[in-house]
């Protein structure tokens, strides 16, 4: 214990610059002068709330005249669903529960807001017993064995 001197301090390594100091322009230039490898890359919109920034293609999109939209269920199909549901004495909620869908899905199909989904249409067809797809919309659904 006689060999240890509490007054002597040995510095093994100095602390490097903090993140803010390391990113400063002066620190980068000093590191480049010393010949160190310095990697600088500008992050696009870093630290800013730029989710809705204007891109180069905005003008191109503005010139675009074709309107793109999804096809909707026709009102004819909506009326058939509504009439078939009412003839079975079902509410929208009852029909939705029967086909494992949300009541809003049935409401959207009946008023023509829904984007047609063959799976949902097939479930509704089987529940109300009326065809909703093809030429014979509104005709009774033939329930027979599937032929292969």
* Whether pLDDT at 60 is above 60: yes
* Whether pLDDT at 78 is above 60: yes
Q: Provide the domain count of the chain.
A: 1
121 within domain boundaries: yes
What is residue 103's predicted lDDT score, i.e. its pLDDT? 94
Q: Which residue has the higher pLDDT, 49 or 108?
A: 108
CATH number for 117? 1.10.260.40
Angstrom distance (rounded) from CA 121 to CA 136:
14
20 within domain boundaries: no
Task: For residues 65-76, give the mean pLDDT.
Answer: 80
19 within domain boundaries: no
Angstrom distance (rounded) from CA 109 to CA 90:
15
Candidates 73, 79, 72; CA nearest to 130 is 79
119 within domain boundaries: yes
Verdict on whether the full-model pTM lies above 0.85: no
Q: Which residue has the higher pLDDT, 144 or 107?
A: 107
- At residue 146 the predicted structure's pLDDT band, cuts being 50, 70 and 90, is low
Candidates 142, 24, 99; CA nearest to 134 is 142
Encoded tokens for 23: 């990113």
Domain containing 86: what range? 73-135
Render the chain in DSSP notation, one character per residue. Answer: -TT--TT-----------HHHHHSHHHHHHHHHHT------PPTTTTS--TT---TTHHHHHH--PPP------HHHHHHHHHHHHHTT--HHHHHHHTT--HHHHHHHHHT-SPP-HHHHHHHHHHHTB--SSS-TTSBPP--PPP-
Q: What is the pLDDT of residues 9-40, one digit of tens each?
A: 776 776 776 766 666 788 888 888 888 887 76
Task: For residues 53-61, give the mean pLDDT.
Answer: 63
28 within domain boundaries: no
């Amino acid at each position: 214990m006689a060999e240890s001197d509490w007054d002597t301090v040995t510095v093994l390594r100095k602390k490097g610059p903090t993140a803010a100091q390391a990113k400063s322009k002066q620190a980068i230039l000093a590191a480049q002068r010393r010949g160190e490898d310095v990697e600088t890359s500008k992050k696009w919109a870093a630290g800013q709330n730029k989710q809705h920034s204007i891109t180069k293609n905005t003008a191109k999109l503005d010139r675009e005249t074709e309107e793109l939209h999804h096809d909707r269920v026709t009102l004819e199909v909506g009326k058939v669903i509504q009439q078939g549901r009412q003839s079975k004495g079902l509410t929208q909620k009852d029909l939705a529960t029967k086909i494992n869908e949300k009541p809003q899905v049935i409401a959207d199909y009946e008023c023509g807001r829904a984007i047609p989904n063959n799976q949902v249409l097939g479930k509704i067809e089987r529940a109300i017993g009326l065809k909703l797809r093809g030429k014979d919309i509104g005709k009774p659904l033939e329930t027979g064995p599937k032929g292969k």
